Amino acid sequence: MKKSDYLTNTIEHFDIKSHNVINLVDSMEKMAFSARDLNRAAQIYDEMLKDKDTTIILTLAGSIFSAGLKKIVFDLIENNMVDVIVSTGALMIDQDFFEALGFKHYIGSQYADDNELRELHIDRIYDTFIDEDELRICDDTTAAIFDSLEPRPYSSRELLWHFGKYLEENGGPKTDDSVIYSAYKNNVPIFVPAFSDCSAGFGIVMHQTKYPDKHVSFDSGKDFLELTKIKLESKETGIFMVSGGVPKNFTQDIVVAADILRENVPMHKYAIQITVADVRDGALSSSTLREASSWGKVETTFEQMVYSEATLALPLIAGYAYHKRNWENRERHNFTKIFL
């Protein structure tokens, strides 16, 4: 088979605007197990949107944009349903920025011959295919952005603002559903605390090799400080976590950091998490929100774990809150002044 035989049918991103799931999710309230959990999570997210004192932080991990969930996050930004994003680098650069450059993810198969894929320069994410040659262009583009910047340490938020600016100047119609570009336009800060762990990591290696004595670098301490400042600036905070990993822990930890800087900072008032991780192994991604309360990070009044794969749960929870339309009454946050 030729490369073009594999890269034929593209992943289509789910559109929450086209599917009113209110009745479906409401019907789950009188069911049991994960259905009832999902209903309660959807209601808690809607409560976050009703609460005008609450800053909503969305955390993202897992390969969910390549799986068709990118437009949901785009719509959450566009409709003022999220104020801050904390994500893995793979989602923001290898998947969102990658598509904003004009590239696509393709419907594949987990049963494909991986040796043949390697020969054809096709990368596989379970049942999804990506053109490795296009990913290399993404790597090179990140390096070019770093080359264009003043050599100094940057927070990931600062760098992703420059990625959004690059798309404004070079993206054209390909940016229509880009999360990075929408966040740039709407002053929604994006943090990627492990920024080297993605295509930008390859870009920074190229950039720092080219400029060994004077170069751009990633300041993860500044990331933590900036997100902590958002916590200090907010009356209340709510976290909507899709999967776990570094974004989850990073976002929960800002309560402790804020409390160190100013005593009696409130815990996250609202918290929901979608995960398939098993709580019994003690891993970070699976740790419950009630466990986080023992660390002084999350209140337990409005918290809900949803044990479900994200492509099933996120469209229902986000779609429910979108069609309830309580986001229409929110004022958009702008934290720009605290970063100056």
Closest CA to 10 of 122, 130, 115: 130
Q: 265: which DSSP letter?
A: P
Rounded to whole angstroms, how far apart are CA atoms 166 and 337?
22
Q: Which residues of 39-73 are buried (b: 16+ CB within 10 A; e: fewer)?
A: bbbbbbbbbbbebeebbbbbbbbbbbbbbbbbbbb
Q: How far is CA 61 from CA 140, 162, 265, in A?
A: 24, 22, 27
For residue 2, indicate whether it is catalytic: no
Backbone region of residue 270 per phi and psi (left: phi > 0; alpha: psi in -120 to 50; beta: other values):
beta
Rounded to whole angstroms, how far apart are CA atoms 216 and 146?
6
Which amino acid does the sequence have at 198? C
| Residue 238 β-bridge partners | 56, 270
Contact at 8 Å (CB) between 262 and 302? no
Closest CA to 279 of 306, 250, 254: 306
Half-sphere exposure of 61 (CA within 13 A, CB side): 24
Q: Is 131 exposed, middle or buried (0-12, 13-18, 19+ CB in 10 A)?
A: buried
Catalytically annotated residue among 70, 71, 269, 297: 297
What stretches of the chain show up as alpha helix (H) in DSSP?
3-6, 22-27, 33-50, 70-78, 89, 98-100, 114-119, 132-148, 156-170, 179-185, 199-210, 220-233, 245-261, 289-294, 310-324
Residues designated as active site: 297
